[in-house]
Amino acid sequence: MAPIRRRFSGMLAVSLLLVLAACSSTISRSTPAEQNYGRLPPIVLDVAAIEINETYQPPLKEPHVEHSFPTPPDEAFRKWVGERLKARGEGRTLRITINEASAVRVPLEAETGLSALFTKEQVERIDARLGVLMEILDGHGLPVAHVSALSERSRTLPEGLTLNDRDQVYREITIALINDLNTTIEQNLREHLANYVKQ
């Protein structure tokens, strides 16, 4: 009876080890918290509506990787518009066109020689761009004023990144792009479209 019990205990231990090994090898993708711009004072515009168009079409293939971001740049910008821009006027429309929202992966040349064995190489670079055009349209839908803004960010990535590490880098790139546009757009609106900014 004792040998059978020991054999059962041994099988149970092996089964538990296999389950633990399977759990440890499972790749999980974290969902990081979004940047919140609603904490900032809203930019109130003398327009009746705000509409967003997008002329940029993601290729959805390498070397483009914007579609792999936890929150793609264009989606993050739409969220920014909803949190910061408020329409409180009559007759006019603010038309926003997203004309650039790309992130391109650029392979980097690997180092050679003895030193390469002892360093963690930067194996690729992500070049990201987010550009928008903002137009004030009159009651007939004709543009009467406009401003534009473009943000560019580059980031090198080391070898051996996990999926969660890569997601975190992509998130940081997106936040940097939106932070840049947040500053540039507010400045441009208040300087060049001051007649349409209420506060």
Q: How many CA atoms, within 13 angstroms, populate the side-chain half-sphere of residue 106?
A: 11
Q: What is the mean pLDDT of residues 113-135?
A: 84
Indicate the domain borders of the chain: 37-196
Question: pLDDT digits over 63-92, tens only?
Answer: 999 999 999 999 999 999 999 999 999 999
The pair of structure tokens assigned to 157 is: 């990535």
Pick from 16-25, 47-56, 100-109, 155-164: least confident:
16-25
Residue 35 pLDDT class (50, 70, 90 cuts): confident
Q: Beta 49-54 vs 93-107: how paired, if at all?
A: parallel
For 36, residues 6+ apart whose C-beta sits below 8 A from its C-beta are 83
pLDDT at 140: 95
Please check whether the domain covering 37-196 is classified as CATH 1.10.3470: no
pLDDT at 113: 56
Compare 17 and 118 and report the one with higher pLDDT.
118
**Range 134-169 burial, b when 16+ CB lie within 10 A, else e:** bbbbeeeeeeeeebebebebebebeeeeeeeebbeb
Q: How many CA atoms, within 13 angstroms, populate the side-chain half-sphere of residue 18?
A: 6
The pair of structure tokens assigned to 70 is: 């936890």
pTM of the model: 0.80
